[in-house]
Structure 1
Amino acid sequence: MEKRATIKDVAVAAGVGVATVSRVLSGGSASPATRERVLAVAAQLDYRPSALGRNLRQRRTGGMGLLVPDLTDTFYGQLAEGVLACARSAGEPVVLGSTGGDPEQEADMIGMLLEQSVDRLIAVPSGDAETWVPAIRAGMTVVFADRFPVEPSPEPPAGPTAGPAAGPVHEGSGAASVSDLMALDGIAPAPQARPLDAASQARPLDVPAVVADDRAGIRTAVRYLRGLGHKRIAFLGGPGHDRRAAAFREAVGAPVDEELVVFGTGSRDSAYAAASGLFQSRPDLSAVVAGGNVLGEAAVLAARELDLRVPKDVSLVMYDDVPWAELCSPPLTVIAQPGRDMGYRAAELVLRTGGRKQRGVVLPTELIIRGSCGPRR
């Protein structure tokens, strides 16, 4: 029996990516020449797009997908545990994939999940909104976790990425005000504050998300460091940390010293290079807020290599509470976010059926004070 052509076969024969084939076959954007070439190859290979689209609309095959940037990252492991726990209780299988934080790889994996008729997907997105259009148009139920897709802007963004179309539900006694959460999600600026991202006013995706209250967490950490007398505080970020960087800029106030806002590209080597470069180029800084546990690890290693004592020479706050943070010498002060709960809640959202639109959820963060911060001498 002759093997049926797959979406990957069409992509290879047409000389394009799986995501491009997915967009063309689902009616998404593509140049006329690309669209014509893809459709011609699909016809030549007798590829039936029903597996891509109509199967999703007409029947439920079961199972959900989970895409994260890095399975070795402790936080994403916690998030995955929450998703798997909820899926087990519902009797749902889970297809787990790592995108490596690469938008192209993410787009390819979305195409393959569509090909396999996976009809529910939880993702920590790496690509922009356009990457997710084929999945939404094909009828896949999508929930974002931890962050949102990058929103393209004609000007360099000064704030976080776009938020969910539906208003978030905030939980926890330490919650920010409703206006704060609206600002966090790009719906409107907080009173007497500039918008966190003007581009976030136009949102093409109608997708709920489960995120932590980055703004409140970063703001609390900066206030704590300011209370210890620190004036030159740096932010060390990575991919997907635009919202946290925007919250940091807002917390330190104008004028922001942009030399103290530094980004790595995502790998551990890049994070170490960013931390080391920051310490060497700005010996006057006295405190660092690391935007994630990989960056916190890099900051600890770089400080050790440069003979900087924590907290005597530099204080350190890390976003994410991971097991090794308490084992450091000194133990790290952290902004804890509920990774496992985030995954569980995202799975609950994606499993809910019916016509009612689901609302996003904002989970509280907590500043856990340990020994890595001290008064500015």
Structure 2
Amino acid sequence: MEKRATIKDVAEAAGVGVATVSRVLSGGSASPSTRERVLAVAAQLDYRPSALGRNLRQRRTGGMGLLVPDLTDTFYGQLAEGVLACARSAGEPVVLGSTGDDPEQEADLIGMLLEQSVDRLIAVPSGDAETWSPAIRAGMTVIFADRLPAQSPADDPAASALTDLMLMDGLAAAPPSRPQSQAQPRPLDVPSVLADDRAGIRTAVRYLRGLGHRRIAFLGGPGQQRRVAAFREAVGAPVDEELVVFGTGSRDSAYAAASGLFQSRPDLSAVVAGGNVLGEAAVLAARELDLRVPKDVSLVMYDDVPWAELCSPPLTVIAQPGRDMGYRAAELVLRSGGRRPRSVVLPTELIIRGSCGPHR
């Protein structure tokens, strides 16, 4: 039996990405030449795009997808446990994928899920609104968890994050300072389950200020624009930009960012790490550089993971409910027949342990 052509086959033959094929076949935006090339290749390969749209609109296949950036990250493991627990109680299978925080890989996985007629998806997004538009146009029910996609690659992360924070507080977003290009995609109207990053970061910074710390650094990673904006807001203007540094997502990159921060700014007295991989990197880098925690540097980590209590000293953390976040996201996606579910913001908690001390 001859193997049926897939969306990836069409993308490779046309020399474009899977997301572009999805856009063309679901009636989305594409240049005339790209559209013509994709449609010609699809016809040549006898590719039938019913799984990209019509099947999803006409019937519910059962099962849901879950996309996370990194299955080895303890927080995403907790989130996945919550999704699987809810799905198990409902008798629903789950298709699990890891994007590696790579928008291209994410687009490929979205295309494959559409091909398999998976009509409901929970995702910690890595790509922007354009990456996700084809799935939503095809009729897939999407719930974002932990973070939101950027509106476009060219968006100012700080401005985008500030808008997110305002919306979480129930405030209208400020009007743009300049007219938006007609080519810019509109923000996605997709429900989400998020932690209250703003309150968590603000509480941590206030705690460190109360201990006398003034040179507080933020160690960030991919998808943490809301946390960065909350940190900037909490420390107040003027922000020392040398104290806001980023890794690219891998453990090596996180370690390099933490080590570089400690070496370039020996005057800093406290660090807020934006996630558990970054917190791990900060602990390792401090140890390698013979910096004592908390005597030389105080450390607060976003995420409460089991090893945080096993450190010497145990780490002060901003705890977010990862398992509950996954469970609530699965509940939303399972109940999404008819009325659009409302977004959920879950509380965070500052758990004080031994990694912070008074500034000397």
User: Shorter-chain TM-score: what band?
Assistant: over 0.9
Residue 182 (1) aligns with residue 203 (2)? no
Q: CA deviation at 1:15?
A: 1.5
Of 313, 331, 339, the match for 1:356: 339
Identity of aligned residues (%): 88
8 Å CA contact retained: 2:291, 2:297: yes
User: In 1, Cα distance between the equivalents of 2:343 and 2:82?
Assistant: 17
Match of residue 304 from structure 2: 321
Judging changes above 3 Å, is the alpha-carbon distance between structure 1 residues 227 and 203 closer, same or farther for their aligned structure 2 residues? farther
8 Å CA contact retained: 2:162, 2:229: no
Residue 295 (1) aligns with residue 283 (2)? no
User: Cα deviations across residues 120-163 of structure 1 (Å, max 9, x unaligned)?
Assistant: 00000000010000000000000000000012275633245487
- How is 1:105-144 mapped onto 2 (pairs within 5 angstroms)? 105-144=105-144
8 Å CA contact retained: 1:82, 1:339: yes
Match of residue 228 from structure 1: 211
Match of residue 85 from structure 1: 85
* Matching residue's letter, 2:339: R
- How is 1:136-215 mapped onto 2 (pairs within 5 angstroms)? 136-152=136-152, 156-161=156-161, 182=167, 187-188=172-173, 203-215=186-198
User: In 2, Cα distance between the equivalents of 1:324 and 1:186?
Assistant: 38
Match of residue 256 from structure 2: 273
User: In 2, Cα distance between the equivalents of 1:97 and 1:58?
Assistant: 25
* Matching residue's letter, 2:8: K
* Matching residue's letter, 1:73: D
- Select between 232-241 and 42-51 the one with higher mean Cα deviation: 42-51
Of 259, 266, 279, the match for 1:283: 266
* Matching residue's letter, 2:53: G
8 Å CA contact retained: 2:141, 2:336: no
User: In 1, Cα distance between the equivalents of 2:163 and 2:76?
Assistant: 20
Residue 373 (1) aligns with residue 334 (2)? no
Q: CA deviation at 1:107?
A: 0.5
8 Å CA contact retained: 1:249, 1:256: yes
Equivalent residue of 1:288, what SS?
A: strand
Q: CA deviation at 1:357?
A: 1.4
8 Å CA contact retained: 1:102, 1:127: yes
8 Å CA contact retained: 1:160, 1:246: no
Residue 251 (1) aligns with residue 234 (2)? yes
User: In 2, Cα distance between the equivalents of 1:38 and 1:291?
Assistant: 41
User: In 2, Cα distance between the equivalents of 1:38 and 1:132?
Assistant: 19
Alignment length (residue pairs): 354
8 Å CA contact retained: 2:163, 2:173: no
* TM, length-normalised to structure 1: 0.90
User: Cα deviations across residues 7-28 of structure 1 (Å, max 9, x unaligned)?
Assistant: 1121121121211111110111
User: In 1, Cα distance between the equivalents of 2:129 and 2:333?
Assistant: 19
* Matching residue's letter, 1:188: A
Judging changes above 3 Å, is the alpha-carbon distance between structure 1 residues 162 and 12 closer, same or farther for their aligned structure 2 residues? farther
User: In 2, Cα distance between the equivalents of 1:9 and 1:73?
Assistant: 32
Q: CA deviation at 1:108?
A: 0.6
- The runs of 5 or more residues in structure 2 that have no matched partner are none
Judging changes above 3 Å, is the alpha-carbon distance between structure 1 residues 286 and 366 closer, same or farther for their aligned structure 2 residues? same
Match of residue 171 from structure 1: none
Match of residue 237 from structure 1: 220
8 Å CA contact retained: 1:184, 1:215: no
User: In 1, Cα distance between the equivalents of 2:282 and 2:289?
Assistant: 10
- The runs of 5 or more residues in structure 1 that have no matched partner are 165-179
User: In 1, Cα distance between the equivalents of 2:297 and 2:266?
Assistant: 10
Equivalent residue of 1:158, what SS?
A: helix
8 Å CA contact retained: 2:146, 2:193: yes
* Matching residue's letter, 1:320: D
User: In 1, Cα distance between the equivalents of 2:131 and 2:154?
Assistant: 18
8 Å CA contact retained: 1:228, 1:374: yes
Judging changes above 3 Å, is the alpha-carbon distance between structure 1 residues 186 and 123 closer, same or farther for their aligned structure 2 residues? farther
Match of residue 172 from structure 1: none
Match of residue 36 from structure 1: 36
User: Cα deviations across residues 17-50 of structure 1 (Å, max 9, x unaligned)?
Assistant: 2111111101112111111000001111111111
Q: CA deviation at 1:65?
A: 0.2
User: In 2, Cα distance between the equivalents of 1:341 and 1:360?
Assistant: 14
* Matching residue's letter, 2:282: A
* Matching residue's letter, 1:299: A
8 Å CA contact retained: 1:162, 1:185: no
User: In 1, Cα distance between the equivalents of 2:134 and 2:212?
Assistant: 50
User: In 2, Cα distance between the equivalents of 1:307 and 1:2?
Assistant: 63
8 Å CA contact retained: 2:166, 2:173: no
8 Å CA contact retained: 1:210, 1:361: yes
Equivalent residue of 2:157, what SS?
A: coil
